[in-house]
């Protein structure tokens, strides 16, 4: 069972649609029973980091997520804000995250180059930092759709899966054991996003 976690801050329908296009069924839920029974988890997200952490706490699902991810080793895919929530800390609200990946979420800063637009928005290429079945049969180059003002910096370089250049490289995907995060939006990335979703569901 694939569970898309609903904590009030995600484009849930679009995620469910791409899972369906990949050939699988999913449910959207924040119930502890559904999360507990999941074979795969997806943590989407659009919006404010601090508000997202408050919502997860108010739903009382952080403990069951920790158990599923850290103890049961259930594969989980974080998308955009969902990826950022997996880090230790965010500058957005100066608040702790789930701390599944050692690293922090930081705002793009181009104070000496005011012409550079924030958020980083639109199509951009990814560069694979390590071989992994998550990347199986990716086209070269692979392009994904981004919309974000904050990005992740990993403390451990081995966790970096993809990097993307936006006036300097940043981590656009990470992986540690069963934990996967992507800064881009696979649900908006056409054939590239569909391939990624199929890889996560079938291989990871």
**Model pLDDT for residues 157-177, shown as the tens digit of each residue:** 999 999 999 999 999 999 999
* Domain 2-203 CATH (choose: 3.40.50.1970, 3.60.110.10, 3.40.50.880, 3.40.50.300): 3.40.50.880
Nearest to 155 by CA among 79, 93, 89: 89
In what helix (H) or strand (E) does residue 138 lie, and over which residues does it extend? Answer: none
pLDDT digit string (tens) for 21-77?
Answer: 999 999 999 999 999 999 999 999 999 999 999 999 999 999 999 999 999 999 999
Backbone CA torsion sign across 106, 121, 173, 73: positive
Is the pLDDT reported for residue 188 higher than 90?
Answer: yes
Q: What's the pLDDT band for 139 if we cut at 50, 70, 90?
A: confident
Domain limits of the chain? Answer: 2-203
Total H helices, total E strands in the chain: 6, 13
Catalytic residues: 80, 185, 187
Residue 114: the pLDDT is 79
Q: In whole angstroms, give the CA distance from residue 193 to residue 56.
A: 26
Answering whether pTM is above 0.95, one says yes
């Amino acid at each position: 069972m694939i569970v898309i976690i609903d904590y009030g801050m995600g484009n849930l329908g679009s995620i469910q649609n791409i899972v369906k296009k990949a050939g699988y069924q999913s449910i959207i839920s924040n119930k502890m029973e559904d999360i507990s029974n999941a074979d795969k988890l997806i943590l989407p997200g659009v919006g404010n980091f601090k508000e997202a952490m408050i919502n997860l706490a108010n739903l009382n699902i952080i403990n069951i997520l920790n158990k599923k991810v850290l103890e049961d080793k259930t594969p989980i895919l974080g998308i955009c804000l969902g990826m950022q929530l997996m880090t230790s800390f965010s500058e957005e609200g100066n608040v702790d995250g789930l701390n599944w990946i050692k690293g922090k979420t930081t705002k793009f800063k181009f104070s000496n180059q005011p012409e550079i637009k924030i958020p980083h928005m639109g199509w951009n290429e990814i560069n694979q930092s390590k071989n992994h079945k998550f990347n199986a049969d990716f086209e070269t180059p692979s392009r994904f759709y981004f919309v974000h003002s904050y990005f992740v910096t990993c403390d451990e370089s081995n966790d970096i899966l993809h990097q993307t250049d936006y006036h300097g490289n940043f981590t656009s995907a990470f992986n540690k054991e069963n934990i996967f995060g992507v800064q881009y939006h696979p649900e908006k990335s056409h054939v590239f996003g569909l391939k990624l979703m199929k890889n996560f569901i079938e291989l990871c």
